[in-house]
Structure 1
């Protein structure tokens, strides 16, 4: 059974709502990422090329396309269900690629014909362990043109445990004031999706691809950990340009 546009729209809308529980000021974060990409590509005479890492159902890609309609966006994810939601609901936003970020040969799957101007991600790279993340950062540094940027929005706590707890509290209080916790959570979204007939085949494929229990779980790296790994990977500059609690947007310049 194919996925209809109406069904894709319904589940993407529910996804957008539940994600508000997990990304403090999510729309502001998207806007900042788009600001950075627009700024760094302002002097380009040709079409800028952007890769969206861990694109899910195309949330960030869709917003970038609205801001930069002349850009070529390549959106990458390993989840077959979320990718199909993106392809059906946001078909014109990007070229979607099904691959595992950090796996051997993953950059070849992108089929790029010129250097990247920007690589972007939001709430997606935190599941990578430090060794894999450094390798991914190194791969991206090799793909980016000089002056190109990696822009990553994620939960990146301070090194200090007490400050990390405070930063987390600040974010939760903000989410409470915005009534973000009134929306369904991640587990509830997936449980409800199991009842949707049009998603059955995609869910079966997703289960087939899932790693063994316990695999892929990585300790959350701090903001300074990410900056250190970016510098080791060959980025000239790296640091946070926006932050609320432990929700950050980090920019690294090639």
Structure 2
């Protein structure tokens, strides 16, 4: 059922390039997320960090490099991406298969102690607003006082004209960086589906998709609306710490 290290390396490297097609200044956003986690965990012995929607371990690997003493728990529900992460970034995190927002989804984490930080990049926008609020509340209950939830994602602005402008700025930045020359999401998945070594994992993935929903239900929510939901969930302090175009890093700190 597993994949070879060489195969995992190839597909993860292609994933990294493919993601640059979409995420504006993706590497800088990862760095900002790591900056925040570094700050809120300073002086703590073996900080505990949860990576939400980890995919093949892109953010977890960067956090592990920045914070080698951290214990990172990386969560996703895609069996193929999880297996790529477990194989290629094996030492970065403990990978957990669970569906974020589902009933009892945090039971599978087996944390054993409060979180110091929870992080996510382009992974929570598919949650409908009521599920997102419940997820924020659950994460708040898992974080220690002073711990932080750090969410990097693309958030539209209030009003179509400003949303159009921020999206345009992001596209122009990607064009200058040459990111649009990389393969896109559909091409990556189509190519991976033709790899016989991934066939069993694709079968698992297809079996799960009808039950998992998916989509982009929460993708219309502005950063301001996310901040409102976070405050409703009990986070006393919420602020954006970075933005380029419609790409943001939003931080919520538990009192």
Normalising by structure 1, we get a TM-score of 0.97
Equivalent residue number for residue 127 of structure 2: 128
Equivalent residue number for residue 75 of structure 2: 76
Structure 2, gaps ≥5 residues long:
none
Kept in 1: contact 2:126–2:214 (CA 8 A): no
Task: Please give the per-residue CA displacement for 1:194-245, whole angstroms capped at 9, x wherever unaligned.
Answer: 1101100000100000026976441421111100000000001112100000
**More divergent stretch after superposition (153-162 vs 90-99):** 153-162
Task: Please give the per-residue CA displacement for 1:80-126, whole angstroms capped at 9, x wherever unaligned.
Answer: 00000000000000000000000010111100110000000001111
Structure 1, gaps ≥5 residues long:
none
Distance 2:31 2:143 in 1: 22
Matched position secondary structure for 1:127: coil
Give the alignment's Cα RMSD to 1 decimal.
1.2
Distance 2:161 2:43 in 1: 43
Distance 2:136 2:113 in 1: 18
Runs of 4+ in 1 over 6 A off after TM superposition: none
**Closer, same or farther: CA 188–140 of 1 in aligned 2, 3 Å:** same
Distance 2:140 2:214 in 1: 26
**Closer, same or farther: CA 243–217 of 1 in aligned 2, 3 Å:** closer
**Closer, same or farther: CA 66–194 of 1 in aligned 2, 3 Å:** same
Aligned pairs (5 A) from 1:196-235: 196-211=195-210, 216-220=215-219, 221-235=221-235
**Closer, same or farther: CA 61–248 of 1 in aligned 2, 3 Å:** same
Task: Please give the per-residue CA displacement for 1:25-76, whole angstroms capped at 9, x wherever unaligned.
Answer: 00000000000000011121x2100000000000000000000000000000
Normalising by structure 2, we get a TM-score of 0.97
Equivalent residue number for residue 251 of structure 1: 251
Distance 1:231 1:77 in 2: 25
Q: Number of matched residues?
A: 253
Equivalent residue number for residue 20 of structure 2: 20
**More divergent stretch after superposition (218-227 vs 130-139):** 218-227
2:83 matches 1:67: no
